């Protein structure tokens, strides 16, 4: 008789996810973040920064924004090391109904593993719980198909808003805005 199949046996991908801890970013994570930012800069990723960041610069940047309740800083951690994070800014004024996903970055080792999906979903849920907002917006680069596919999987759609292009190592980088309406 064949062995009965266990439907709940985790796939390899899910087993990877079991090792991931999602939690708030801490000041002590700064050095892990510096490694990831600089890996992305060296890989010419579609991020705003073009030059490597120093530990001091990142630390002072973090200290400036930390403790500001307007932001959601969520990190994904594997074996005690941060492998990615996202930052969402809640509305600046009471009258605004929009949150902005301003930063979303994974180490190369964590890409294509499902960590990005889980991290993004948790940020969306936290934003829904924390703020009285109707939508989340972001802007990204047209050639950044991994990012666009990820955002579309989570209900973001391209909007008509014009975002100015920027320089990507000597090439013109076209950019778009995407938005997700929250129920």
Ligand X SMILES: CC(C)(COP(=O)(O)OP(=O)(O)OC[C@H]1O[C@@H](n2cnc3c(N)ncnc32)[C@H](O)[C@@H]1OP(=O)(O)O)[C@@H](O)C(=O)NCCC(=O)NCCS
Q: Is 140 in the site for ligand X (CB under 6 A)?
A: yes
Q: How far is the CB of 104 from ligand X (least distance, A)?
A: 5
Strands 157-168 and 98-106: unpaired
**Of 123 and 183, CB closest to ligand X:** 123
Segment interacting with ligand X, rule: CB under 6 A, options 14-22, 43-51, 52-60, 66-74: 43-51
Q: Is 74 in the site for ligand X (CB under 6 A)?
A: no
Encoded one letter per residue, x for contact with ligand X by CB under 6 A and - for no contact, window 86-125 reads ------------------xxx----xx---x---------
Q: How far is the CB of 75 from ligand X (least distance, A)?
A: 13
Q: Is 145 in the site for ligand X (CB under 6 A)?
A: yes
Q: Is 156 in the site for ligand X (CB under 6 A)?
A: no
CA-CA distance, 55 to 177, in Å (whole number)? Answer: 31
Half-sphere exposure of 180 (CA within 13 A, CB side): 23
Cross-sheet strand order for the sheet of 71-78: 20-24, 71-78, 81-89, 98-106, 135-141, 171-181, 157-168
Q: How far is the CB of 28 from ligand X (least distance, A)?
A: 21
CA-CA distance, 76 to 80, in Å (whole number)? Answer: 10
Q: How far is the CB of 97 from ligand X (least distance, A)?
A: 22
The rounded Cα 146 to chain-centroid distance in angstroms is: 12
Q: Which two tokens stand for residue 88?
A: 């969402």
CA-CA distance, 23 to 21, in Å (whole number)? Answer: 6
Q: How far is the CB of 43 from ligand X (least distance, A)?
A: 8
Strands 20-24 and 71-78: antiparallel
Q: Is 47 in the site for ligand X (CB under 6 A)?
A: yes
């Amino acid at each position: 008789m064949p062995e009965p199949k266990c439907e709940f046996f985790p796939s390899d991908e899910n087993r990877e996810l079991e090792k991931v801890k999602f939690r708030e970013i801490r000041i002590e994570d700064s050095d892990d973040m510096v490694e990831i930012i600089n890996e992305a800069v060296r890989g010419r990723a579609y991020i705003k920064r073009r030059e490597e960041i120093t530990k001091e610069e990142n630390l002072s940047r973090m200290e400036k924004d930390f403790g500001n309740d307007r932001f959601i800083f969520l990190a994904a951690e594997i074996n005690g090391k941060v492998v990615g994070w996202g930052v969402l800014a809640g509305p600046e004024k009471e009258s605004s109904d929009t949150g902005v996903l301003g930063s979303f970055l994974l180490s190369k080792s964590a890409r294509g593993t499902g960590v990005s999906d889980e991290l993004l979903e948790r940020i969306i849920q936290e934003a829904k719980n924390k703020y009285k907002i109707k939508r989340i917006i972001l802007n990204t680069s047209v050639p950044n198909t991994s990012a666009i596919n990820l955002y579309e999987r989570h209900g973001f759609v391209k909007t008509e808003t014009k975002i100015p292009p920027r320089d990507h190592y000597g090439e013109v980088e076209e950019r778009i805005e995407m938005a997700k309406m929250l129920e």
